[in-house]
Amino acid sequence: MFLITILILFAASCQEKEDPIENDRRNSTNGKINTWIQNLMDQGYYWLEDMNNPIAIDSDPEEYFEALLFRPTDRYSEIYPNYQEIANSLQGIRREAGYEYLLARESSTNENVLAFVAYIKAGSPAEDAGLRRGDIITQINGISLNLSNFQNLLRSTRDNHSLNFLRFNESEDSYEPQEEINLQTVQLSENPNFLDTLFTIDNHKIGYVVYHFFASGISGQADRYDRQMDEIFARFKSEGINNLILDFRYNGGGSLNSTLNLASLIAPNVSTDDVFLEQKYNSFLTQFEEFQDDKLEFLSKNENLGPILNGNRVYILTSRRTASASEMIINGLKPYMDVKLIGSTTEGKNVGSALLQEEDNPDNDYGMMPIITMLFNSNGQSDFINGFDPDIEGIELTQRFLAPLGDINEYLLSLAIQDITGTASASERRSRIDRVPLGDSFEKKIHSGKTIHEGFKLPVK
């Protein structure tokens, strides 16, 4: 027995000795970052039981993070090398020339690629240069876009660049070449509240809001954009609108706080006891009381329009880029009112992220955005991973030209107005063009496909 005891103690002392090579790897710069990644994932990752085994502790952090993920079920968890850059981007702050675009093949008989300008941002170099929605970019830095080079050419627009483009002349019913423009990229702060207006058609008073992403505000003005949205709805209410159209066609998501704020301006006859969304977490987090029964109740908003909307209905314009927080609005309002969708099937993202950083390690600049929660409406529904199908289908690139946003003859808006008024618009009488879509500039935006849970804190380190 004495010898057995000695052997056990000897074995235990050997196990307690750390492998010096493994210890060096763990204490390397990458090792410390990856230890942080592992610790957070072990606590917060939604698919905790399905997480993969880690690779070498001193691996590149992006490769280490990726190796843990439950792909392909998890389509959205991401890590970025610069936390502050990502935090800025989620608020709409990034370096750019100030335009977004939709891509399509010109024809099945050639390999030319066209970039249709979707919208221009206020105060941007693109606005100053006179670029407009509907212009078709054909060349970047003097080189024509085609199937072989368009991705590389579009990447070059992150720096200063030139554009050659066409503009539609309605009186001539043709596209005409414009003078080449040179664009600089600048640090631009985009306001998500892009456009709001009111249309009076017969006895229909229609409020129309173009909202490009969910963000509460910017540093120093944390609720600036939410307050602007409140003011828009207050104006609509004072004008006595009876129909509301939300344009989410380019809205890929963003702040959960702003999502709740907007929903609270729309849902009819709700109180602060009524549930907008419920968040559900992994098996580790649900051991803690604060992560159990985590319901988001509606806010009390004097600007709420719900009771004055005809048919207890809200119209939402959608596309395949309508995702995440936009879909949370759709799903969260459905138990309370008729949500009528016009456009194309949405992306299908029913989960939420948090932007996490390691504040006490100056060598770690990474920002991590793992999926931490799945969101359900008050009926317990979260079954839209294939997206929400439209009630009225419409794809704007089938149009010969893209009319300005806010023009009553703009295709998707006109479909909504037609459903409200029963009167066909000019766009309905136009012939359709069968274009093959190739993507857009929205898929690379940080808030695209994101519902961001602000202030998320893990219970332990």
- Which residues face 58 on adjacent strands? none
- H or E segment at 315? strand 313-318
> Per-residue pLDDT tens for 402-431?
999 999 999 999 999 999 999 887 666 667
pLDDT at 456: 84
Contact 103, 440 (CB under 8 A): yes
pLDDT digits (tens, 9 = 90+) for 353-398: 999 999 899 999 999 999 999 999 999 999 999 999 999 999 999 9
SS3 call for 86: helix
Q: Is the pLDDT of residue 237 over 60?
A: yes
Rg, Å, the chain Cα set: 25
Q: Which residues contact 51 (CB under 8 A, 6 or more apart)?
A: 41, 42, 45, 68, 69, 70
Per-residue pLDDT at 55 exceeds 80: yes
Report the share of the chain in percent with pLDDT over 90. 82
Rounded Cα distance between 263 and 256, Å, is 11
> How sure is the predictor about 247, in pLDDT bands with cuts at 50, 70 and 90?
very high
Write the pLDDT tens digit of every residue in 180-206.
Answer: 999 999 999 999 999 999 999 999 999
Q: Using the predicted structure, report yes or no on whether residue 244 has a pLDDT greater than 70.
A: yes
Instruction: For residues 58-83, give the mean pLDDT.
Output: 96
Residue 21, SS3 per DSSP: helix
Give the confidence band of 23 by pLDDT, cuts at 50, 70, 90. Answer: confident
pLDDT for position 109: 86
Strands (DSSP E) found in 370-461: 371-376, 392-393, 436-440, 450-452
pLDDT at 103 over 80: yes
- Residue 116: band (very low, low, confident or very high) from pLDDT cuts 50, 70, 90: very high
Q: Is 311 helix (H, G, I), strand (E, B) or coil?
A: helix
pLDDT at 8 over 60: no
- Using DSSP's 3-state secondary structure scheme, residue 221 falls into strand
In one-letter notation, the amino acid at residue 369 is M
Q: Which among 249, 260, 128, 258 is positioned nearest to 195, based on CA atoms?
A: 249
| Composition of the chain by helix, strand, coil, percent to 5 | 30, 25, 45
Beta-bridge partner residues of 205: 200
Give yes or no for residue 79 having a pLDDT over 70.
yes
Determine the CATH number of domain 190-452: 3.90.226.10
Does the pLDDT value for residue 455 go beyond 60? yes
| pLDDT score recorded for residue 434 | 85
Which pLDDT band, with edges at 50, 70 and 90, does 334 fall under? very high
Q: Count of CB atoms within 10 A of residue 240's CB? A: 9
Tens of pLDDT along 285-319? 999 999 999 999 999 999 999 999 999 999 999 99
**Does the structure show a pLDDT above 80 at 218?**
yes
Whether residue 132 has pLDDT greater than 60: yes
pLDDT of residue 168: 97
Q: Is 176 helix (H, G, I), strand (E, B) or coil?
A: strand
Predicted confidence (pLDDT) per residue in 266-293, tens digit? 999 999 999 999 999 999 999 999 999 9
Same fold for the domain at 94-187 and the one at 190-452? no
Question: Per the CATH hierarchy, to which homologous superfamily does domain 94-187 belong?
Answer: PDZ domain (2.30.42.10)
Element (H, E) at 264: helix 256-264
Question: Are residues 299 and 261 in contact, defined by beta-carbon separation less than 8 angstroms?
Answer: yes
**How far from 330 is each of 272, 316, 375, 382, 387, CA to CA, in Å?**
19, 8, 12, 11, 11
Quote the pLDDT of residue 185.
98
Among 239, 206, 391, smallest CA distance to 309 is for 206
pLDDT value for 18: 61
- For the chain, percent of residues with pLDDT exceeding 70: 93
Q: Could you give the CA distance from residue 192 to residue 194 in angstroms, rounded to a whole number?
A: 5
Residues forming beta bridges with residue 169, ordered by sequence position: 174
Q: How far apart are CA 357 and CA 254, in angstroms?
A: 18
pLDDT category at 107 given cuts 50, 70, 90 is: confident
Average pLDDT score, the chain: 93
Domain boundaries, the chain: 94-187, 190-452
The pLDDT tens digits for 204-213 are 999 999 999 9
pLDDT band at residue 6 using 50, 70 and 90 as cut-offs: low
> 262, 223 in Cβ contact below 8 A?
no
Look-up of token digits 């631009």: 188
